[in-house]
Amino acid sequence: MNKIITVILCLASLGLYAQDEIPMTASDSLSYSIGVVVAQNIKEQGFTKVNHYIVSKAIADVLQSEELLISQEIADVYFRNELSNVKTKQKLMSKKIGEEFLAQNGAKEGVVTTESGLQYEIMTEGDGPSPSATDKVRVHYHGTLIDGRVFDSSVERGEPISFGLNQVIQAWQEAVPLMKVGSKHRIFCPSDLAYGERQAGPLIGPHSTLIFEIELLGIE
């Protein structure tokens, strides 16, 4: 982005230049789009101690090969340290939010809490046999985070799945043998019965409490 556009954008950020008056070329649009992507990444990483004017200054210095106010090596250290702090806070917050959710959920009528901390409620009671911990079962399931976001669902794919119960997370190993064929249960999984501190895909972060609706279709 040339210096004229940079000045215009700075004036616009200060409210001195109306946004719809900024002349944007194709190159300017690309430049602005790059800024949007960078800013979204900053937000998604959880950084809160960010002065966007200083960020803009750093970007300009790098792109224009100006002398940096902080060396690349020191900048890397600052970034890695803060990223570590942010991730630690996110993990602790996720664990706390999950624990508070389960405490409230466990008090609801129809929700059973087992000794391990697993919670479940019976949506439909079947009349078939119950599987053992080593059986292979066929199920339909729908998995969400406690905020309702869907991270995996055989129901949405329209295709049931079969697997050995000794191949899945601990919550399932405990919950499915409590079911009878034809049953449908909703289970609430503490993070230590799911993926613990691990990241499991784009949505399941460390210490995530998970909710599954499971329909037991058969034992194979």
Catalytic residue, chosen from 8, 141, 187, 188, is 141
Residue 79 is assigned to a structural domain of this protein:
no
141 catalytic residue (yes or no): yes
Burial of 163: CB neighbours in 10 Å, binned 0-12, 13-18, 19+ = middle
Give the number of other Cβ atoms within 10 Å of residue 98's Cβ: 22
Catalytic residue, chosen from 120, 152, 187, 188, is 152
Q: State the pLDDT confidence band at 1, using cuts at 50, 70 and 90.
A: very low
Query: What CATH number does the domain containing 169 carry?
Result: 3.10.50.40
Residue 34 is assigned to a structural domain of this protein:
yes
Catalytic residue, chosen from 8, 204, 211, 212, is 212
The pLDDT, as a whole number, for residue 217 is: 98
The pLDDT, as a whole number, for residue 10 is: 52
Catalytic residue, chosen from 17, 47, 101, 151, is 151
114-148: pLDDT as tens digits: 999 999 999 999 999 999 989 999 999 999 999 99
- Same-domain pairing of 114 and 62: no
- Same-domain pairing of 117 and 179: yes
Q: At what angle do helices 52-63 and 26-45 cross, to 10 degrees?
A: 130
Report d(CA 76, CA 90) in Å as an integer: 21
- Same-domain pairing of 212 and 120: yes
- Same-domain pairing of 40 and 116: no
Which tokens is 65 given? 């090969």
Report d(CA 102, CA 105) in Å as an integer: 5
Residue 195 is assigned to a structural domain of this protein:
yes
53 catalytic residue (yes or no): no
49-95: pLDDT as tens digits: 788 888 888 888 888 898 989 999 998 898 888 888 887 887 888 89
Distances (CA, A) of 186 to 65, 73, 129, 133, 204: 57, 50, 19, 19, 18
Higher pLDDT, 204 or 20: 204
Higher pLDDT, 153 or 76: 153
Identify the residue whose tokens are 């079911």.
179
pTM above 0.85, yes or no: no
Residue 89 is assigned to a structural domain of this protein:
no
Catalytic residue, chosen from 17, 169, 192, 219, is 169
Total number of domains in the chain: 2
**Containing domain of residue 150, as a range?**
109-219
- Same-domain pairing of 184 and 125: yes
Catalytic residue, chosen from 195, 204, 211, 214, is 195
Helix (H, G, I), strand (E, B) or coil at 201: coil
195 catalytic residue (yes or no): yes
Q: Is residue 11 scored above 50 in pLDDT?
A: no
Residue 190 is classified by DSSP as -
212 catalytic residue (yes or no): yes
- Same-domain pairing of 55 and 147: no
Q: Is residue 8 scored above 80 in pLDDT?
A: no
169 catalytic residue (yes or no): yes
Q: Is residue 34 scored above 60 in pLDDT?
A: yes
Q: Is residue 14 scored above 70 in pLDDT?
A: no
Q: Where are the alpha helices (DSSP H) in 14-131?
A: 26-45, 52-63, 72-105
Residue type, 83: L
Residue 8 is assigned to a structural domain of this protein:
yes
